[in-house]
A and B are shown apart, each in its own frame.
Chain A
């Protein structure tokens, strides 16, 4: 071991001498930057042009971000960069459907890279004519899916799936939304959805804001769920380890929020029935008036507070028209009357 340490110390000194000598022999920082920059190996940008109007666009990428924007042009363009490791294929799915599949060849040391690549080289850019009405089915293993529009863009259905990236959708009018991520976040903002919004995440958060839909089915394991300005029939949001925050919720049927280890914070809501449950978190529900609700509030080892008053671990009323059930195991339940 001592000999090994001596050898390593000698190598360390040798490296220091070599680096110092190289520095004085004319180190070129620009060239060094090029060494660590892998953009050049992606070559020139490739552009596909699709003139015939489509019904469906499928992108199945392994290591690419997907970014869709709209254009006033009459044809769709798909722009991407291709590395030697990449293969892009275009399976024929019949008239009206266009599919692009990107795969990356596995190289043994590819997981240890000292080279960096700028984001634009790893992004498939799609420019869609604003008059087209498409079903979008996008999936990527390592990348973000982004549909960020300045004004409302209409699609049929959105089916978006990312393993380690996030999904961001803003300003859309769609038939349905399905988002699925493993470690990223799902954000859906300013949307009108005719049917359901389904969002599932393993370790990421879900943020839904300013959305009208038929039903919301949301679930995440270790992330949080934030809901604001939503209109629908039902909302069913489930978290294993994380907080649920909901405000400005307008439902014609049922609101179900449940978490195992996290708080539930609910305010400014309308629904026929509300069911809230948490194991170890606290619940804070802000209501406009107490007499609107039939409360059934129970906690095992926590306390129930209604308008600041301690009600022990159980509180029930039947004077209202809206059922509000809340169940906690070790957390407190607080019903706060809005001043």
Chain B
């Protein structure tokens, strides 16, 4: 009976230890990842630890092998590859995380420099597309001021009006397409560089 109680207390203590560790892992992951990503990683480690426990391994030994900081670092590229960057803040956050991960590994610093250069290029393209939009509106207003204060024949009014509408819409379409292509390229680049970081981590 005494031995049974002792065993039960030991199991409870072990279970508490594991819960605390998993909570710590969850807290550390929550600082970097979204809720669904955190719960996926926590479940993965919970399953793995339970599997090893049922195989007769000691919990303390198992947990000693897993450093929470390392887990967060090594899981980052994996999470970034899978993450759906469907909103602009998510994409920006993923980019920042990937750059930080690349910079934190000395071997990956040249890759980080290349990635940072691509980010700067992408940022410049987005700024350029916004500038095109603003200048189109300013140009359109300025042209309209000239257009409506000048007396022209009906044919010329139609030609100039038509051409200005065409130019305005083409400029706006071009800026939208530049923006979309830049975002699409940024997403693809993010996945590509995340894969490179993951491979480097595996090696």
Q: Give the interface centre of B145, B161, B165, B172 by most chain A CB atoms within 10 Å.
A: B165
Q: Quick one: which of B143, B156, B173 contacts A12, CB cutoff 8 A? A: B173
Residue B201 CB within 8 A of the other chain? no
Would you call the interface of chain B mostly helix, strand, loop, or mixed?
helix
Residues of chain A lying within 8 A (CB to CB) of residue B142? 109, 112-114
Residue B109 CB within 8 A of the other chain? no
Contacts A1-B180, A8-B173, A22-B157; is A35 near B152 (CB within 8 Å)? yes
Whether the pair B170, A35 counts as a contact (CB closer than 8 A) is: no
In angstroms, Cα B163 to Cα A11, docked, is 11
Whether the pair B169, A19 counts as a contact (CB closer than 8 A) is: no
Q: Mark B15-36, 1 if CB is under 8 A from A, else 0.
A: 0000000000000000000000
In angstroms, Cα B27 to Cα A263, docked, is 63
Chain A residues with a Cβ under 8 A of chain B: 1, 4-5, 8-9, 11-12, 14-23, 25-28, 31-32, 35, 109, 112-115
Cβ-closest chain B residue relative to A29: B156
Chain B residues with a Cβ under 8 A of chain A: 138-139, 141-143, 145-146, 150, 152-170, 172-173, 176, 180
Whether the pair B176, A112 counts as a contact (CB closer than 8 A) is: no
Whether the pair A11, B146 counts as a contact (CB closer than 8 A) is: no
Q: Quick one: which of B156, B172, B173 contacts A22, CB cutoff 8 A? A: B156
Cβ-closest chain B residue relative to A109: B142
In angstroms, Cα B86 to Cα A249, docked, is 69
Q: Quick one: which of A1, A16, A114 contacts B166, CB cutoff 8 A? A: A16
Residues of chain B lying within 8 A (CB to CB) of residue A28? 153, 155-156
Whether the pair B160, A12 counts as a contact (CB closer than 8 A) is: no
Q: Quick one: which of B146, B154, B161, B165 contacts A114, CB cutoff 8 A? A: B146
7 contacts between A and B (CB under 8 A): A5-B173, A8-B172, A12-B165, A35-B146, A113-B142, A114-B143, A115-B146
Q: Quick one: which of A21, A25, A35 contacts B150, CB cutoff 8 A? A: A35
Residues of chain A lying within 8 A (CB to CB) of residue B162? 14-22
Q: Quick one: which of B141, B160, B166, B167 contacts A35, CB cutoff 8 A? A: B160
